[in-house]
Chains A and B, each alone.
Chain A
Amino acid sequence: MRKYTLVFLFFFFSFSSLVFSQEKYTISGYIKDKSNGEYLVSAAIFIPELSKGASTNTYGFYSLTIDKGTYQLSSSFLGYNPYSQKIVLDKDLRINIDLDPQVITTEEVVVTGEKKDINTQGTQMGTVEMSIEQIKQLPALMGEVDVLKTIQLLPGIKSAGEGNSGFYVRGGGPDQNLILLDEAVVYNASHLFGFFSVFNSDAIKDINLIKGGMPANYGGRLSSVLDISMKEGNNKEYHLDGGIGIISSRLTVQGPIKKDTSSFIISGRRTYIDVLTKPFISDSSKFKGSGYYFYDLNTKINYRLSDKDRLFLSGYFGRDVFSFADAGSGLNFGIDWGNATASLRWNHLFNDKLFLNTSAIFSDYNFTLGINQNDFELKLFSGMQDWNGKVDFSYYPSARHSLKFGLNYIFHTFTPSNASAKSGDVVFDTGDIVKQYANEGALYILDDFDLTEKIKINVGLRYSLFQQIGPFDRYIKNELDVVTDTIHYDKGKQVAFYQGLEPRFSIRYKLGDNTSIKASYTQNYQYLHLASLASTSLPADLWVPSSDRVKPQFATQYALGFFQNFKNNMFETSVEVYYKSLKNLIEYAEGAIIGNNVNDNPDNSFVFGNGEAYGTEFFVKKNSGKFTGWLGYTLSWTTFQFDDINNGDPYPAKYDSRHDISLVLTYDLNKHWSFSTVFVYNTGNALTLPVARYLINGYIVNEYGSRNSYRMPAYHRMDISVNYYGKKHKRFQSDWNFSIYNVYNRYNPYFIYFANVGSLEQGNLEISAKQVSLFPILPSVTWNFKF
């Protein structure tokens, strides 16, 4: 019933806008960076006389429809000089604005009175936008600037562990985050088992994270959206920038293809641990030929076909390559994994009020392990591939309304886990290569509108569907794990079908100029599942579709927040509480060995359960002045209940964390020097421990306590960094970043294990608990340059 009420409200408000229309005109256009022609996302446009405004969309476009009149039109964006111009609005106007970037000065940054206060004014909750420049000032592990690590410093977002790029949002698993790079899904956002993220900071323009109150234009994941936009490339002049760090180097080339009309950017990064260690591995070494590296390449071109049409083509390609060679045994193996994405997008402006973006997107993730010894060759591989088409409209009927609607279709190909093997010329029978296919589709509509001066509402509805199709073989097993029947589905034949309505609703009630209360209610379906046996996400983890056995994951989230800004928005503060229920989560059955495709389906070893997460988040942020930064604190609980795990009793999720604190501070001393520090503290991860031991066949075996009933020691760490910006020359600029990771050399637990050495029979048995810690104090230096 509640669903229908929402739908009704939505249409009621949509039509109400038509009833009240008077003599109105539209101002629209694009907001760009004057120095390089990059379109600015979420830049504000404001009419002070009416206290009305709008902000630009992902493509830098804005549209504002207001009564006829003479106004002062102003525009602002963090890090740019404010812009203002007088307009006479007696017809529709197209105004493209070029904002001038602020030069870092010793004076305090002037905050303009017109600056739109998105934090308290918008309906969005749990949304964070970050500029890459802000992130670059912070200390970085081994000098590698990492956007995923930085977002983990925000309240409600928990790191998956030391040096792990996986993150947990409000109790949701790492597979419940929709990570988009220029709209393409990135299935595994980490390099080196999660120590670094795949996002090269030089190629990134903007990061937008939604951890609650997900609007209806996003879907397919339960917990969050991390929307990352790549830079478009300077369309005024050529630039070469890059950096040299202790483990990797970066180089970016960008420039106009045709000035002011089209531009390109190519950005690459590669680590050189392998190159650096090579001199230390002698030619006679047993392990010559072993090494590790990762690299990634981002590229984008854009072309302005006309004032109304723009075309973007962007791509990402990155891989991790590990090779091991043991001359002694003739054993070689290589592990290789990575993502590839490509997005082709076309922006079209039908008129001043209707904006269309059409995208064709390709995403691929795969993992391969190859082993060979003498004549024998074995290859294991798994992966995930998507072809994705999207049509998204933005419609701005009046200053009070902004509508979005669109549709999305994805064709998924899953390669859960396959093998091929041969010995000499003889090929082993490893079963057929098993792939699974699925169609996923969605339709959505949402309206963001002012009901009254005080109440602003964002209401949306998303309808999603998912269909697994053949060819597919389902192996039916009895309780004894024996296959009793096989069901074969022909190509294109439906194996399973799911559909659902996902209402999304958020409301803002303004208490004063700088104070508001917001509430949100969202429902989400997720049709993809990441099956992970380990306590940390690994590149070998499998993506599996919802199937006849696996039901879609489903989440309902309620959130309530209080937002207040102080001192002309110099300080932003907020308190949010949330409650989330999670349904149809998957886990491997206790004692499961990861399945294979020979007479079995990987999802046969899953068990299903539900979860519950709730908590509260406090956030204080200082936006301007010599001192900037934030303090976040989260108090939260996440509990799971699976009938087949822990005797059906509820247990804490492994990433359930009671307390999370993060402090980020940056001090700009002058135009040459800035200093930053980061401090994090969180309750240790939940862990299952042996409580007793006994003897079987002379071996010591363990009796474990209830699941995740023990806590690792708390995790805390402080990092510092110093940035030195060299003298600005006409054509050349450089800066240095000196970072120290883990300043007070805290031995944080990476994992704990229990060892028994010796034998009872010999009377020399020893039992102990060991803690393994990863990073001690680690200094690093990075030099960045720009031509």
Chain B
Amino acid sequence: MKPLINLQNWLEQTPPLRRVKVQWTFEPVRVLLVGLFLFLFISCEKTITVDIPQAETKIVVEGYIEPGKPAQVLLTKSSPYFGKVPTTQEELLAMIITDAKVVVSDGITTDTLKVTYDENAGFFPYLFYTGDTAILKGVPGRRYDLKIITDTETLTATTTIPALIPLDSTWFVIQGDGHYNRGFCWGLLSDPDTLGNCYRIMAKRLGKDTNFIAPYGSPFDDKFINGKSFQFYFSRGTEAGSTETGDDLYYFLKGDTVVVKFCTLDKAHLDFWLSAENDIYNQGNPFSSPLTLITNINGGLGVWGGYGATYDTVICK
């Protein structure tokens, strides 16, 4: 029932947010209603076998570029829904494409990416293509074309790194139900007066997280906040497959050092994350409408996204 967190965030908004127009939707209502069914009825659940038509395997792209850094592209294959889940190294390798030609161009310079392995790059399964900063690195305001050529297919995509909009400031506030040592991180954002700015926020606790983790609700645009300077807070996200439970879930703790990654992105990149979040958090919700993730890859699935990333460090005290 993760979407409820969104509602909870809502409830715990503290006075500084009053200046912001309140955003809300009926979505949490649906989640509550699902809960009611289970609360009120004798329902029973069983595992069934479903005969699903065989789907063709598609190439999945997960590629990013940000200022000052080389492009990074992970290529995997989609598998039939009930296909075998990889449990061995061979099986995992079989779902990763390592022999494609991956080319990134900013219109002037072209870089052919090479396969590398890096556990700290934030990309499970850590085996991906990366470029050479001496040849090509991200610059705000530029457009980047991606071309992937395999034995049988050619995929293309385009993204931009929008102009950077750093947060004016970031800080930590103790919040949370009478507990003195946990809370959320806050930021002050001054949105430019032109409509259509899109953002995504992520955070990494030094010494605790290996990757930047996005909280629920991380992608957003300036529909409600255009031209405003406003304060907002965000909770701590968890990584895919996390089994963390307990009272501290979704909170930052006093003593944490948090690096906040605040990014601008283009509309297609935002739409991908909005649809991805919808799919990830609504799995199992019978009242959601199933929808394949919106993609900006021609001929495949996934995303090629430019991040106008800026970083801040928050010492939680």
- Chains A and B are bound partners: yes
Q: Which residues of A contact B (CB under 8 A)?
A: 192-193, 273, 292, 322, 329-331, 333, 335, 369, 371, 373, 376, 378, 380, 382, 417, 419, 421, 423, 426, 428-431, 480-483, 533-536, 538-540, 588, 590-596, 598-600, 688-705, 709-710, 713, 747, 750-756, 758-763, 765-776, 778
> With a CB–CB cut-off of 8 A, which chain A residues contact B50?
689, 710, 752, 769
- For residue B145, CB closer than 8 A to chain A, the reply is no
Whether A694 contacts B13 in the complex (CB less than 8 A), given A533-B287, A747-B44, comes out as no
Q: Is the CB of A598 within 8 A of B289?
A: no
| Nearest chain A CB to B207 CB, angstrom units | 20
Q: Are A769 and B287 in contact (CB under 8 A)?
A: no
A588→B290 CA distance, assembly (Å): 12
Q: Does B223 contact A (CB under 8 A)?
A: yes
The minimal Cβ–Cβ distance linking B21 to chain A, given in whole angstroms, is 5
- Say whether B29 faces chain A, with CB atoms less than 8 Å apart: yes
B290 touches A702 (CB 8 A): yes
For residue A371, which residue of chain B has the nearest CB? B11
* CA–CA, A275 and B164, complex, Å: 59
A192 to B279, CA, bound (A): 28
Is the CB of B45 closer than 8 A to any CB of chain A? yes
Would you give the shortest CB distance from A758 to chain B, in whole angstroms? 6
* B80 at the A interface (CB under 8 A): yes
Contact for B241 among A592, A762, A771, CB less than 8 A: A762
Contact A428 B43 (CB under 8 A): no
Give chain A residues whose Cβ lies under 8 Å from the Cβ of B287. 533-536, 538
- Residues from chain A with a CB closer than 8 A to the CB of B49 are 769
A388 to chain B, nearest CB (A): 27
Query: What CA separation (Å) do A772 and B41 show in the bound complex?
Result: 11
Interface residues in B, total, Cβ within 8 A: 86
Asked whether B302 is an interface residue with its Cβ less than 8 Å from the other chain, the reply is: yes
| Known pairs A591-B275, A774-B41; A765 contacts B85 (CB<8 A) | yes
Q: Assess whether B62 is interfacial by the CB under 8 Å rule.
A: yes
Is residue B139 contacting chain A, with contact meaning CB distance below 8 A?
A: no
B27: CB under 8 A from chain A? yes
* Residue with the greatest number of chain A CB neighbours at <10 A, chosen from B48, B242, B289: B289
Please name the residue on chain B nearest to A709 by beta carbon.
B53
| Interface members, chain B 1-49 (any A CB < 8 Å) | 7, 10-15, 18, 21-27, 29-30, 32-33, 36-37, 40-49
A705 x B24 contact (CB < 8 A)? no
For B253-281 the 0/1 string (1 means CB < 8 A from A) is 00000000000000100000011101110
- B125 is an interface residue with CB less than 8 A from chain A: yes
Contacts of A533 in B (CB 8 A): 30, 287-289
CB-based contact B279/A702 at 8 Å: yes
Residues of B within 8 A of A382 (CB): 26
User: What would 20 A/B residue contacts be, using CB atoms closer than 8 Å?
Assistant: A329-B177, A331-B11, A417-B26, A421-B22, A480-B267, A482-B196, A534-B289, A540-B33, A692-B58, A695-B76, A696-B302, A701-B293, A704-B292, A705-B52, A752-B50, A754-B284, A767-B81, A770-B48, A770-B284, A773-B45
Rank and list the top 3 A-B pairs by shortest CB-CB distance, nearest first.
Answer: A759-B241, A698-B240, A751-B286
**Cβ contact within 8 Å between A431 and B21:** yes
Q: Which residue of A lies closest to B96 (CB)?
A: A695
* Cβ contacts B40-70/A at 8 Å (1 or 0 each): 1111111111101111011010100000000
User: Is B294 touching A192 in the complex (CB atoms < 8 A)?
Assistant: no
B79 touches A (CB below 8 Å): yes
Cβ–Cβ contact A692 & B81, under 8 A: yes
Residue pair A423, B301 in contact (C-beta under 8 Å): no
Taking a contact as CB atoms closer than 8 A, the residue among B32, B37, B55, B60 that contacts A691 in the complex is B55
Q: Are A594 and B27 in contact (CB under 8 A)?
A: yes
Asked if residues A691 and B196 are in contact (CB atoms below 8 Å), the reply is: no
Supply 14 further A-B pairs (C-beta < 8 A) apart from A330-B177, A536-B287, A596-B23.
Answer: A419-B24, A430-B21, A482-B195, A482-B223, A690-B52, A691-B53, A692-B80, A694-B301, A697-B276, A698-B241, A699-B276, A703-B55, A754-B81, A773-B44
Chain A: which residue is nearest B279 at the CB level?
A701
If A752-B48, A756-B283 touch, whether A693 touches B25 (CB-CB below 8 Å) is: no
Answer whether A771 and B79 are a contact pair too, CB < 8 Å, given A430-B24, A594-B25, A697-B62: no
Q: How many Å lie between the Cα of A482 and that of B223 in the bound state?
A: 7
**Within 8 Å CB of A755, what residues of B?**
283-284
Residues of B within 8 A of A747 (CB): 44, 46
In the complex, chain B residues whose CB is within 8 Å of the CB of A273:
40
Chain B hits for A482, CB < 8 A: 195-196, 223
Which residues of B are in contact with A by a Cβ distance under 8 Å?
7, 10-15, 18, 21-27, 29-30, 32-33, 36-37, 40-50, 52-55, 57-58, 60, 62, 76-82, 85-87, 92, 95, 124-125, 177, 195-196, 214, 223-224, 239-242, 267, 274-276, 278-280, 283-294, 301-303
- Smallest beta-carbon distance B10→chain A, Å: 7
Q: Which among A331, A376, A695, A768 has the highest number of chain B CB atoms within 10 Å? A: A695
> Do the beta carbons of B18 and A423 come within 8 Å of each other?
yes
Q: Which residues of B contact A775 (CB under 8 A)?
A: 41-42
Say yes or no: B301 contacts A703, CB within 8 Å.
yes
From B48, which residue of chain A is reached at the shortest CB distance? A771
Docked-complex contact A692 and B22, CB < 8 angstroms: no
Contact (A760, B124) CB under 8 Å given A692-B58, A771-B48: yes
A771→B46 contact, CB < 8 A:
yes
Chain A residues whose C-beta falls within 8 Å of the C-beta of B41 in the assembled complex: 774-775
> Given the complex of chains A and B, what is the CA–CA distance between A334 and B196 in angstroms?
36
In the complex, the answer to whether B52 meets A696 with C-beta atoms within 8 Å is no
Nearest B-chain residue to A430, judged by Cβ: B22
Nearest CB of chain B from residue A748's CB, rounded to whole Å: 11
Contacts of A481 in B (CB 8 A): 223, 267
B46: chain A residues at CB < 8 Å are: 747, 770-771, 773
Most-contacted residue by chain A among B11, B13, B44 (CB, 10 A): B11
When distances are taken between beta carbons in the complex, the residues of chain B under 8 Å from A762 are: 241
When C-beta atoms are compared, the residue in chain A nearest to B86 turns out to be A760
Shortest CB-to-CB span from B231 to chain A, Å, is: 14
State in angstroms the CA–CA spacing of A375 and B293 once bound together: 39
Contact A694 B302 (CB under 8 A): yes
Nearest residue, chain B, Cβ from A479: B267
CB distance B25 to A702 under 8 Å? no
